[in-house]
Amino acid sequence: MLMFVFSPFLLISDCFRKKKRVNNEVVFAFSLMLTLAMLFTATCIWVSQSQNKKAFALIGNFAATQEQLGENLAFSQDISYYALKYNIDPLLVYALIDQESKFDRFAVSDQNAKGLMQLTPSTWQEMNPNGVCDATHDRYQCHETECVFCPGANIAAGTRYLSQLVERFDGEVGFALEAYNAGSATVDTSRDEHIYPETRSFTRNIAQKLKTLRQNRVLDLINLAVDARQALKWAGGVTLALWSILLAWLIKKL
């Protein structure tokens, strides 16, 4: 066991000796460590990608490319963070984003709502009163970090806005979603009597999506994918370091 643990250090020290001093047992132990590191790295990649694909297929945004997979995990971390910060069910945020933009960060509606959570310029400015971006531009005209088209900033503002609506309507998520879609003034005056048909469809679709996500434990799948992605950074670094040691030793001794 000790030989297994210290085999990388033994190979490193052997690189500075003129003659080969390590025996075959050390080389075997090091090779075993490298193999295990590679297997663990491959497992992290598989778990991260497979669980992420499964989760977002259920959400409605099946990612076919590696770039989209990476974006989905980045969205997941932002959603988890801001949902916790503003006391909102993260699955509700997933369902809302899917309904609003299908996870297209550059989506723009006919009403000029923009980004993942489809925020109008007035709502964006209300949530970011001191921001440089005013959300009146298209996707090519702003390069600010806190832009309406920036996923993290859009999710932060949208989740905060949703949280305020839930609080305004005394925890009634249905009314909050109606206000998110049709405007709080409309819901204030009509409550449940004269809501637009498209708004009813909007809230009904989100409710159905939310039920599906909960039944399939999508949040667990996403958390597993995120954890595997974090472990991959460590495992990949260890594997790269071990390969570097092996190559240096081979060049020096063979």
Q: Please tell me which residue in 100, 144, 193, 198 is annotated as part of the active site.
A: 100
Produce one character per residue of 161-177: b if its CB has 16 or more CB atoms within 10 Å, e if not: bbbbbbeebeeebebbb
Nearest Cα residue to 159 out of 222, 92, 210, 102: 92
For the question of residue 100 being annotated catalytic, the response is yes
Strand partners, 119: 114
Give CA–CA dist 109/57, Å, rounded: 23
**Among residues 88, 181, 107, which one has the least CA distance to residue 148?**
107
60: left (phi over 0), alpha (psi -120 to 50) or beta: left
What residues are labeled active site? 100
